[in-house]
Amino acid sequence: MAEKRPPRTLGPGHDQFWEWCSKSELRLQKCASCGGINWPVRQTCEFCGHAEFAWEAMSGRGKVVSWCSFHQDYYGGVMPRPYDCILVELDEGVLFLSNPQGFAIEDITLGMDVAVQFMACEDGGGSFKLPVFARV
Ligand SMILES: [Zn+2]
C-alpha cells in the first residue's frame, strides 16, 4: 500500500526526475557543458549557468553524513510523527536528503553505507516512487 506524503514539487525538470524514479532509477541532471551533477533540480547549471542537461544514472550508493527526527507537524498531519530524515552523500558527491528504510535512526553511525530503494507513495498528484535509503 502506498504511503501518503506531502505534495512533491512538479514542473519542468522535476517531472523528469519523478519519471526516472517511477522506473526505479535515480538519475540527476548532468550539465552538458561542464559535466557538473546538479541537485536539487535546476533550470540552469549551478556551476556554470548552462541550461542543457542529460539525466545521468547515479550509482544509488552513498554514506549517511547527517540525520535527525522531526517531531513538529509541518505537513498538516500527512506525515506520522516523529519521522526520520537522513542526509546521504552519494558516491557521485551529491548531498541527497531522504528517509531511512528498514533501520532506526538510533542505529545510524556516521559514514554508514546505504543504497537507494524506491518506496510506493502517493500525494495529491497521484502515485509515485520515492527514493529512500537502506543499509548495505
Ligand atoms: Zn555546468
| Positions of the chain with pLDDT lower than 70, given as ranges | none
Under 8 Å between Cβ of 38 and 48: no
Cα distances (angstroms) measured from residue 78 to each of 3, 69, 72, 90, 99: 10, 16, 12, 28, 15
What total number of domains does the chain contain? Answer: 1
Under 8 Å between Cβ of 125 and 10: yes
Question: 17: helix, coil or strand?
Answer: helix
Looking at residue 1, what is its pLDDT?
78
Q: For residue 37, report the distance from its CA to the centre of ligand 1, in Å.
A: 8
The grid coordinates listed for 92 are 557521485
Looking at residue 18, what is its pLDDT?
98
> Residue 109 is part of which domain span?
3-135
Q: What is the mean pLDDT of the chain?
A: 96
Looking at residue 120, what is its pLDDT?
98
Q: For residue 30, report the distance from its CA to the centre of ligand 1, in Å.
A: 8
The grid coordinates listed for 103 are 533501520
Q: For residue 83, report the distance from its CA to the centre of ligand 1, in Å.
A: 35
Residues near ligand 1 ion, CB 5 Å cutoff: 31, 33-34, 36, 45, 47-48, 50
